[in-house]
């Protein structure tokens, strides 16, 4: 963590423009899970306690960038934040028309901007439509990038200091996450961002060994670069979820109707060979919980590595869970991204819950990343026994790939 943080700068009398990740589930104006809002509270309170004022900005959901949409408004989040802070939180209904409100802020006051993604230039991604020529596409793309620059400049005008505390959006080079830094003299990390970088960075670059990585989820193609990068770092790589069956197919096993990416078989063989060459234990399921259809009430059976025709594997089996648990319990560092099966259905949750328990019992430094993994840990009731639960799904995945995150790179380095 060589980036400056809020602790490194004087905040008294400063107006801090802070990017937060308030992309929370909202239904009928009610927030379903405020974990991300609470995660930003330490940085918010620190600025206010130090005598600064705050302009908060975030995205919410995936609006089409064509203006206001009630379902994606951040107003309910602003109201909820006011309750958590015990002080008023003003709201700007247009994130690019908040000049007066921002300028009027006094120390200890908070203003939240409306959803930055109501403007297409926040993401700055041009879409090539049917019939659009290459030259027209390039012209459209260039125009949108120029609008993104202007949006970033407008946002920058609201603050004296920029703070990024939205690790979940740090992998995006958006107006509010990275481009804005080009127009601000001081750009620092918030405490949540600092924590994410320290834990994930420490796990990848200086892990206490044995270092065990657990990867799950549906597709190998989603984690190509992650597998490749982790094979240069870990002592043990554990594979579960749908992606396991591409690897088993590559070894010559029958996988029935299980998820399998035939176009990734050569890659799977290459990774298995790489693990062997690097002396990394590469663990795959030795038995599976299979179903005759994808349903909570499906008929099930436990099979070995060869899955019968017409059946699909939806969870690792008990012997696999035992082997994985044994490997995890000997670890000193664990990174986990992706469930072992369709844990949302009770019949196929045992493998994921066994891994949860093993990680909790290991005593290792444990970093959990990815929305499904986090959900599984929360569902298990063992979240309190994990060292760090990441707030950034896509960002943590790209971090594990070894990619530089634009929202982190843009921040000021420490001397």
Cα(62)–Cα(65) distance, integer angstroms: 8
CA 58, chain centre distance (Å): 15
> For residues 160 and 107, is the Cβ–Cβ distance under 8 A?
no
Tokens at residue 320, please?
């696999």
What DSSP assignment string belongs to 81-136? HHHHHTS--EEESSTTS-HHHHHT--TT-EEEE--GGGBHHHHT-----TT--HHH
Q: Confirm if 289 and 313 have CB atoms less than 8 A apart.
A: yes
45 is catalytic: no
**Which one of the listed residues 61, 202, 371, 393 is annotated catalytic?**
371
Q: Residue 385 catalytic?
A: no
Calpha distance 250→119 (Å, rounded): 45
Using alpha carbons, list the distances in angstroms from residue 171 to 115, 325, 393, 402, 404.
18, 32, 10, 12, 8
From the list 75, 149, 219, 403, the catalytic residue is: 219
List the catalytic residue out of 15, 36, 172, 233: 36
Is residue 338 annotated as a catalytic residue, yes or no?
no
DSSP annotation of 347 reads G
371 annotated active-site: yes
Instruction: Tell me the C-alpha distance between 273 and 204, whole Å.
Output: 22
Per-residue DSSP letter, 23: -
The helix or strand, by DSSP H or E, that contains position 155, with its residue range, turns out to be helix 134-156
Secondary structure of 260-319 in HEC code, one letter for each residue:
CCHHHHHHHHHHHHHHHHCCCEEECCCCEEEECCCCCCCCEEEECCCECCCCEEEEECHH
Q: How far apart are CA 241 and CA 252, in angstroms?
A: 18
254: its two tokens: 């029958």
- 280 with 231: CB under 8 angstroms? yes
User: How far apart, in Å, are the Cα atoms of 168 and each of 33, 199, 232, 366?
Assistant: 15, 14, 25, 19
Q: How far is CA 99 from the centre of its chain?
A: 32
Question: By three-state DSSP, how is residue 57 classified?
Answer: strand
- Helix (H, G, I), strand (E, B), or coil: what is residue 388? strand
The residues assigned a catalytic role are 36, 219, 371, 394
């Amino acid at each position: 963590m060589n980036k400056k943080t809020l602790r490194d700068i004087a905040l008294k009398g400063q107006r801090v423009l802070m990017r937060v990740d308030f992309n929370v589930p909202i239904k009928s104006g009610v927030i379903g899970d405020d974990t991300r809002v609470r995660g930003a509270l330490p940085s918010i309170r620190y600025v206010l306690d130090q005598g600064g004022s705050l302009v908060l900005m975030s995205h919410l959901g995936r609006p089409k960038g064509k203006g206001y949409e009630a379902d994606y408004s951040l107003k309910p989040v602003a109201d909820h934040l006011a309750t958590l802070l015990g002080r008023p939180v003003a709201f700007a209904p247009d994130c690019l028309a908040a000049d007066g409100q921002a300028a009027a802020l006094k120390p200890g006051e908070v203003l939240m901007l409306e959803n930055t993604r109501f403007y297409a230039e926040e993401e700055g991604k041009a879409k090539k439509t049917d019939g659009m020529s290459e030259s027209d596409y390039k012209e459209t793309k260039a125009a949108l990038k120029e609008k993104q620059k202007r949006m970033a400049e407008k946002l920058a005008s609201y603050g004296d200091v920029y703070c990024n505390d939205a690790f979940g959006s740090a992998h995006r080079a958006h107006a509010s996450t990275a481009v804005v830094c080009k127009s601000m003299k001081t750009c620092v990390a918030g405490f949540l961002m600092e924590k994410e970088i320290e834990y994930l960075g420490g796990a990848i670059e200086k892990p206490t060994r044995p270092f065990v990585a657990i990867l799950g989820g549906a597709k190998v193609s989603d984690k190509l670069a992650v597998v490749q990068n982790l094979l240069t770092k870990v002592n043990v790589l554990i594979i579960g979820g749908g992606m396991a069956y591409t690897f088993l197919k590559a070894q010559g096993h029958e996988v029935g109707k299980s998820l399998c990416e035939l176009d990734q078989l050569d890659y799977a063989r290459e990774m298995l060979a790489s693990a062997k060459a690097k002396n990394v234990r590469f663990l795959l399921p030795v038995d599976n919980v299979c179903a005759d259809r994808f349903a909570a009430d499906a008929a099930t059976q436990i099979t070995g590595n060869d899955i019968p025709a017409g059946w699909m594997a939806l969870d690792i089996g008990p012997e696999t869970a035992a082997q994985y648990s044994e490997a995890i319990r000997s670890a000193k560092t664990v990174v986990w991204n992706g469930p072992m099966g369709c844990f949302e259905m009770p019949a196929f949750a045992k493998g994921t819950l066994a891994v949860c328990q093993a990680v909790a019992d290991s005593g290792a430094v444990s970093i959990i990343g990815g929305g499904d993994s986090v959900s599984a840990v929360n569902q298990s009731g063992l979240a309190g026994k994990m060292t760090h639960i990441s707030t950034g799904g896509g960002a943590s995945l790209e971090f594990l790939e070894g990619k530089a995150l634009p929202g982190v790179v843009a921040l000021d380095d420490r001397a």
